[in-house]
Structure 1
Amino acid sequence: MDLTRQLQDLLDDAVGQGMTPSAVCAASLDGEALPVLSAGLALRFGADGVPLPAEERVPADPQTWYDLASVTKPFSALAVLALARDGLLDLDEPVAARLSAFAAPYRGSEAGKQRVTLRHLLTHTSGLPGTWDGWREPLPDRQTALASLLSVPLVAEPGTGFSYSCVGYNSAMALAESVTGMAWRTLVELLVLDPLALGGDITFQPDPGHCAATECGSPDGRALVRGEVHDESAYALGGAAANAGLFGTASGVLRFAEALRGGIPALLPGPLAELLWEDQLDGLMGSAAGAARTGVGYGQSVGLRIGQLGWMGGEAADARGHNGFTGTSFLTDRGRRLSVVLLTNRVHPTRDGTDVTPLRKAVNEAVYTA
Structure 2
Amino acid sequence: MIPGATRTLLETATTAGGLPGAALGVVDAHGKTATLVLGLAQREPVTIPLTEDHAFDLASLTKPLFTAREVLRAVAAGNLDLDDDLGRYLPELAWMQDTPLRARTLRQLLTHTAGLPAWAPLYTWGDAATIRARVLQEPWAMKEPGEVVYSDVGYMLLGRVLERIHGRSLREFTLDQGLTFTPDAAQSVSTERCAWRERLLCGEVHDENAGALGGVSGHAGLFGTLGGVLRQAELILRGGWLPPAAQDAALRPAAPGRTLTFVQAQPGWSGGSLASPHAVGHTGFTGTGLWVDHARRLGWVLLTNRVHPTRHADFDIQGLRRAVGNTLLASVE
Which interval holds the TM-score relative to the shorter structure?
A: over 0.9
2:276 maps to 1:313: no
SS at match of 2:37: strand
Structure-2 separation of matches of 1:207 and 1:115? 41
Structure-2 separation of matches of 1:93 and 1:69? 27
1:223 is matched with: 199
- The equivalences for 1:299-310 within 5 A come to 299-310=257-268
2:73 is matched with: 82
Q: Is the 8 A contact 2:59 2:207 kept in 1?
A: yes
1:53 is matched with: none
Question: After superposition, what is the alpha-carbon deviation per residue over 1:209-229, rounded to whole angstroms, capped at 9, x for unaligned?
Answer: 11110001x242231000011
- The equivalences for 1:18-37 within 5 A come to 18-37=17-36
1:181 is matched with: 167
Q: Is the 8 A contact 1:42 1:211 kept in 2?
A: yes
Deviation at 1:280, TM superposition (A): 1.1
Deviation at 1:344, TM superposition (A): 0.3
- Structure 1 residues 368 and 130, CA gap change in structure 2 (3 angstroms): same
Q: Is the 8 A contact 1:204 1:240 kept in 2?
A: yes
Count of paired positions: 327
SS at match of 1:172: helix
Q: Is the 8 A contact 1:115 1:158 kept in 2?
A: no
Deviation at 1:269, TM superposition (A): 4.1
Structure-2 separation of matches of 1:279 and 1:346? 30
- The equivalences for 1:34-45 within 5 A come to 34-45=33-44
Deviation at 1:98, TM superposition (A): 2.0
Q: 1:250 aligns with which of 211, 216, 226?
A: 226
SS at match of 2:153: helix
2:321 maps to 1:360: yes
Deviation at 1:114, TM superposition (A): 2.3
Report the residue type matching 1:337 in the other structure. Answer: R
Structure-2 separation of matches of 1:101 and 1:23? 44
- Structure 1 residues 227 and 26, CA gap change in structure 2 (3 angstroms): same
2:119 is matched with: 131
Q: 2:252 aligns with which of 278, 281, 284?
A: 278
- Structure 1 residues 209 and 65, CA gap change in structure 2 (3 angstroms): same
Query: Percentage identity across aligned positions?
Result: 36
Deviation at 1:32, TM superposition (A): 4.0
SS at match of 2:230: helix
Q: Is the 8 A contact 1:19 1:355 kept in 2?
A: no
CA RMSD in angstroms, aligned pairs only: 1.8
- Structure 1 residues 104 and 129, CA gap change in structure 2 (3 angstroms): farther
Q: Is the 8 A contact 1:116 1:158 kept in 2?
A: no
Structure-2 separation of matches of 1:226 and 1:308? 34
- Decide which structure has greater helix share: 1
Q: Is the 8 A contact 1:38 1:62 kept in 2?
A: yes
Q: Is the 8 A contact 2:27 2:233 kept in 1?
A: no
Structure-2 separation of matches of 1:259 and 1:318? 17
Structure-1 separation of matches of 2:58 and 2:267? 20
SS at match of 2:192: coil
1:118 is matched with: 106
Structure-2 separation of matches of 1:38 and 1:309? 29
- Structure 1 residues 104 and 352, CA gap change in structure 2 (3 angstroms): farther
1:167 is matched with: 153
Q: 1:92 aligns with which of 70, 73, 83?
A: 83
> Structure 2: which 5+ runs fail to align?
none
Q: Is the 8 A contact 2:27 2:34 kept in 1?
A: no
Question: After superposition, what is the alpha-carbon deviation per residue over 1:131-156, rounded to whole angstroms, capped at 9, x for unaligned?
Answer: 132211221xx332211222233433
Deviation at 1:3, TM superposition (A): 3.4
SS at match of 1:3: coil
Question: After superposition, what is the alpha-carbon deviation per residue over 1:26-83, rounded to whole angstroms, capped at 9, x for unaligned?
Answer: 001333434311111111113xxxxxxxxx3101122221110001111210111111
Q: Is the 8 A contact 1:132 1:149 kept in 2?
A: no
Report the residue type matching 1:304 in the other structure. Answer: F
Segment of structure 1 superposing worse, 69-78 or 8-17? 8-17
Q: Is the 8 A contact 2:290 2:301 kept in 1?
A: yes
Q: Is the 8 A contact 1:11 1:38 kept in 2?
A: no
Q: Is the 8 A contact 1:66 1:247 kept in 2?
A: yes
SS at match of 2:303: strand
